[in-house]
Amino acid sequence: MPELPDITIYVEALERRVIGRPLERVRLASPFLLRTASPPIESVQGRQVLALRRVGKRICFGCEGDLWLVLHLMIAGRLHWKEALTSPDFASARGRLTSGRQTRKRTGKIGLAEFDFPNGTLELTEAGTKKRASLHLVQGEAGLRALDPGGLEVMGCPLDAFSEALTSRNHTLKRALTDPRLFSGIGNAYSDEILHRARLSPVTLTQKLAHAEIERLHRAAQETLLLWIDRLRQEAGDAFPENVTAFRPAMAVHGKFGQSCPVCGAKVQRIRYADNETNYCPGCQTAGRLLADRSLSLLLKKDWPKTHEELEELRKADPAMTLKTRN
């Protein structure tokens, strides 16, 4: 799922392309994408885009008439910018050349919507069979606030506000960081990176943290998000950001199961639950201890290894273990 750094770069790229320009037409491939009926989607067509805003993981287009078009990409939603196609035709009496817009073809079955502007088309695609992306059209700031889960914006927030949000509920650190009601825009990928940078276990309970640990987490969250915003900004340059993904080679632990931690060299481990996966370094974050993976620890029960060394010994003794831990 695109998270705060990815959404920030999307917003910046869109600001350069659509601010001050009219949204000429909205073309929907699926009626299920649009989650609101009033105001009608046709009412935003022809209105100039005055502002772009990120609300959590949502991208919000502020248009004339205090209308807000709100996109949530969910897990597999992505945005693509296509420069306008033009074809010259003669403009009757004066014989001047004008530009006639040609509509680009939608990107197969994954194309969900197109938003036409004078200079190009913004396309929304969503891979996979589960279509979860959403589009809302709401009126005014009140309508926009109704879509905001209310999480704290970590970038620039003071330590005391961060601490208050973090400890307001006694969750694990992983759950707290990814709860949109507590923190805005942080998901599975960047929470892994933040916790690794803070040298904290993902299963530590928030209300058991010492002040120094909260301070370390606060600093790590801001530094990690800023680092990745800068990296993605440099990667995109003036182009529209493509290849948006949760798995990047420069990440320390997220998506790096079985690879060496860039800090201490220990093998990155994971915890899996349903469709979610948490990656962590036992050397940096858990004092060498392996956290119980639900899918495997339930199988092994008392034989679940406590350290990476024990896990490797278990794998040597039972080659099928390697397959089980990968699947």
Query: What is the 3-state secondary structure of 63-97?
Result: ECCCEEEEEECCCCEEEEEEECEEEEEECHHHCCE
Return d(Cα 174, Cα 195) in angstroms, integer: 8
Return d(Cα 114, Cα 19) in angstroms, integer: 17
pLDDT value for 108? 64
**Among 251, 246, 250, 147, which Cα is nearest to 195's?**
251
Query: Distance between alpha carbon 256 and the CA centroid of its chain, in Å?
Result: 18
Residues of the chain with pLDDT under 50: 87-100, 296-304, 321-327
Return d(Cα 124, Cα 152) in angstroms, integer: 27
Q: Is 145 helix (H, G, I), strand (E, B) or coil?
A: helix
Query: Where do we find the tokens 């209310």?
Result: 150
Question: What is 4-145's CATH number?
Answer: 3.20.190.10
Q: What is the pLDDT of residues 240-277, one digit of tens each?
A: 999 899 999 999 999 999 999 999 999 999 998 766 88
Contacts of 193 (CB under 8 A, 6+ apart): 224, 228, 251, 252, 253, 254
Length of the chain: 327
What is the CATH T-level fold of the domain 159-236, as seen in this structure?
Helicase, Ruva Protein; domain 3 (1.10.8)
Give the DSSP letter of residue 268.
P
Which residue ranges make up each domain of the chain? 4-145, 159-236, 269-326
Q: How many CB atoms lie within 10 A of CB 287?
A: 10
pLDDT value for 131? 84
- pTM attached to this predicted model: 0.85
pLDDT value for 25? 97
Contacts of 286 (CB under 8 A, 6+ apart): 201, 280
Q: What angle do CA 268, 243, 228 make, to 5 degrees?
A: 55
pLDDT value for 62? 98
For the chain, count helices (H), then strands (E). Answer: 10, 13
Quick check: do 4-145 and 159-236 share a fold?
Answer: no
pLDDT value for 235? 95
Q: Identify whether 39 is preceded by a cis peptide bond (ω within 30 of 0).
A: yes
Structure tokens at 146: 């109704």
- What is the residue-wise DSSP string for 199-255? T--TTSBGGG--HHHHHHHHHHHHHHHHHHHHHHHHHHTTSPP-S--S--TT-SSTT
Backbone torsions φ then ψ of 27, nearest 5 degrees: -115, 115
Structure tokens at 95: 């014989």
